[in-house]
Chain A
């Protein structure tokens, strides 16, 4: 579809504020129009990057799991090894989410394990996890705050 969806959403956002808002009388509905416009702006930003956010997060988490799997024994080690070898089979958002959710759950489990570990490698993995969380938060950050 051309023009791209993000451009269209931004156009809708402008239309709401510039053409529709002046004809809205009720204060409460004016607020809704403003909020819808803001939601369209956020949607436009997300359209272009949504797949990249999830793809990059999944990649980062798998790299951490692969790096640490051999060092952890038992069931957690096995699951980390499997997750580290997994891959995204589609770039559809729904498919990336299906991969992302179990990976994030496993990351939480690994992070809690590492925090309690006295092994020499634990601080390094802890730092890697925080770096992944930092990068994820940066990728997901919206470019402006409306309030």
Chain B
């Protein structure tokens, strides 16, 4: 980790101009989304006579990634939502080219301290005593994201604005192409799903909104009082149908095997009501069913990519194989259950 500390200290010296005594210590790799290497560092420096101590998170491009995304997408989202009702860390620096400091492109944000992110924390005190508050906050914040005007927060000028009738097609085309590129074996169930989705497109969205793209337990920070302190991992953020985000957040994989408690928090029906009340949008059953099936296809595309990356020895982080095996298994079962004719399928 010395290379990270030394490289980042030099970067800060170059960036902070008049700052003196820049020190970077305690560099540690942490889990933080599958598409970038994430490091936690402690930074000390003096500027204009004041000494600053702060934790920072560095998100550096990997040599190969589970999800191919632009780091500027994530940085733009943090910039858009910083100091709004949607809690995000303060975005600090963005370097989009290979560079002398950390080698590969990276961006930096403040560290939100004293929080948990995984579902494992839901079983530990004090978090276990606040499952309901965390659940309510999670779905309320997703509703806030859904009702955000992309123009007002400056994202409309940075992200493609799809036409109301084309949101679904753009997303389906993108993820089908990922499957075309990365599948290691033919996928009859996924192909049947894609045909079905193309034959039965959803109605246009009630409004084009901001879609986080990976909103789920694991991608937000919560504390011991039941507060959600930060929404993370905006690398798949785009503009589109807000129902896409709700369907992804509710896909049964995140709460498996309990599909009625998405993300292992509050009940599904209650979560939908909170989202509707906050966003001011309605969950059209027909449209939502389409996006729920799509969520399985998108998930499977990501897990297929993860299998491909591991298979081709581009990225042999064990998470790639766990995603490629376990997540593919569950999402395939969920998708099959959604598609197969009811009553027409019996075990041998």
Binding site for B on A (CB under 8 A): 26-28, 31-32, 35-36, 38-39, 42, 97, 100-101, 104-105, 107-108, 111-112, 115, 126-127, 129-131, 133-135, 137-138, 140-142, 145-147
Residue count of chain B within 8 Å CB distance of chain A:
35
* Docked-complex contact A32 and B318, CB < 8 angstroms: yes
**CA A130 – CA B196 in complex, angstroms?**
14
* Chain B residues within an 8 Å CB radius of A131: 344-346, 348
**CA A101 – CA B195 in complex, angstroms?**
20
Please pick, from B185, B186, B325, B330, the residue contacting A39 in the complex, using a CB distance under 8 A: B325
* Docked-complex contact A38 and B186, CB < 8 angstroms: no
A100-B189 in contact given A35-B318, A127-B344, A142-B326 (Cβ < 8 Å): no
Q: What residue of chain A has the Cβ atom nearest to residue B343's Cβ?
A: A127
* Docked-complex contact B195 and A134, CB < 8 angstroms: no
Contact with A along B29-41 (1 / 0, CB 8 A): 1110000000000
Can you name 24 A-B pairs with beta carbons within 8 Å?
Answer: A28-B28, A35-B322, A38-B322, A39-B322, A42-B325, A42-B326, A97-B185, A101-B185, A108-B186, A115-B192, A129-B188, A130-B339, A130-B340, A130-B344, A133-B189, A133-B192, A133-B340, A134-B340, A137-B336, A140-B329, A141-B333, A145-B329, A145-B330, A146-B326
A145-B256 in contact given A111-B191, A137-B189 (Cβ < 8 Å): yes
* 3 tightest A-B CB contacts, nearest first: A35-B318, A104-B186, A134-B345
User: Smallest distance from the beta carbon of B341 to chain A beta carbons, Å?
Assistant: 6
Binding site for A on B (CB under 8 A): 28-31, 119, 185-189, 191-192, 195, 256-257, 317-319, 321-322, 325-326, 329-330, 332-333, 336, 339-341, 344-348
Q: What residue of chain B has the Cβ atom nearest to residue A39's Cβ?
A: B321
Main secondary structure of the interface of A (DSSP, over half): helix
**CA A97 – CA B256 in complex, angstroms?**
30
* Chain B residues within an 8 Å CB radius of A35: 318-319, 321-322
* Chain B residues within an 8 Å CB radius of A126: 341
Please pick, from B187, B325, B341, the residue contacting A142 in the complex, using a CB distance under 8 A: B325
**CA A100 – CA B322 in complex, angstroms?**
23
User: Smallest distance from the beta carbon of A60 to chain B beta carbons, Å?
Assistant: 9
**CA A35 – CA B310 in complex, angstroms?**
14
User: Smallest distance from the beta carbon of B35 to chain A beta carbons, Å?
Assistant: 16
A137-B332 in contact given A39-B321, A111-B188, A145-B256 (Cβ < 8 Å): yes
* Docked-complex contact A36 and B318, CB < 8 angstroms: yes
* Docked-complex contact B345 and A130, CB < 8 angstroms: yes
User: Smallest distance from the beta carbon of A103 to chain B beta carbons, Å?
Assistant: 9
